[in-house]
Copies of this chain bind each other. A is one copy, B any other.
Amino acid sequence: MDQFAKLPGIGQKTAERLVFYLLKRSPEELMEFASALAHLKDKISVCRECYNYSESNPCPICVDQKRDKRLLCIVSKPQDLLVLEKTSEYQGVYHVLGGLIDPLNGVTPQQLRIRELIERIKRYRAQEVILAFNSDMPGETTVLYLTKLLKQFPNLKITRLAQGLPLGSDLEYTDEVTLTNALRGRREL
């Protein structure tokens, strides 16, 4: 129970429930779970190209011939890459920064994989980088920083995810900043 309770979002009560559930399972099932846990770090490595977690190195996305290597989508963490992949919309490759610039929490540009990004942009002759960050303070700070930095590449197109109305939104209950972004970014039909 103590082990489960250390995990994020799992309290004492949930930990109890999980352990009681496991007590009813077969020894084989428990062994399988234990083995997956024990070997997690052996099997999963960080892709040397994009820095995503992967069982192979480079990861399947980076070796995929159908992916456009001149299109780089920059994300903060592997979880964000995963949700973008789920859309099946994106056909380029990724670059995991390893965080967002957040001076209040002590995260400076030096701690992120920005040198590696510059190196990849040069090596891939990237045509476009898409800044795909959360729409919050660290996200905005990182957009500003990277935009300024990447302007050194005159032929590189720098884009960011559209800001506006999410699916199912009701204008009446939409905050003013989102509405302002939606108005400014309005799209021709």
Closest Cβ–Cβ distance, residue A170 to chain B (whole Å): 5
B134 and A183 within 8 A (CB): no
A168 and B84 within 8 A (CB): no
Q: Is the interface of A mostly helix, strand, loop or mixed?
A: mixed
Given contacts A89-B180, A130-B183, contact A165 B168 (CB under 8 A): no
Question: Does any Cβ of B come within 8 Å of A87's Cβ?
Answer: yes
Q: Which residue of B135, B147, B189 contacts A159 across the interface (Cβ within 8 Å)?
A: B189
Find the B residue at minimum CB distance from A186: B159
Indicate the member of A83, A86, A157 with the most B CB atoms within 10 Å: A83
In this complex, how many residues of chain A approach chain B with their Cβ under 8 Å: the count is 51
A182 and B161 within 8 A (CB): yes
Given contacts A143-B189, A184-B89, contact A178 B166 (CB under 8 A): yes
Give every chain B residue within 8 A of A163 (Cβ-Cβ). Answer: 162, 164-167, 182, 187
Q: Per-residue 0/1 for A121-155: is the Cβ within 8 Å of any B Cβ (1 yes, 0 no)?
A: 00000000011111110000001000100000000
Given contacts A159-B187, A185-B187, contact A168 B83 (CB under 8 A): no
Closest Cβ–Cβ distance, residue A163 to chain B (whole Å): 5
Closest Cβ–Cβ distance, residue A27 to chain B (whole Å): 35
Question: Does any Cβ of B come within 8 Å of A172's Cβ?
Answer: yes
B171 and A84 within 8 A (CB): yes
Which residues of A are at the interface with B, using a C-beta cutoff of 8 A?
A: 75-76, 79-80, 83-84, 86-87, 89-90, 130-136, 143, 147, 157-172, 174-189
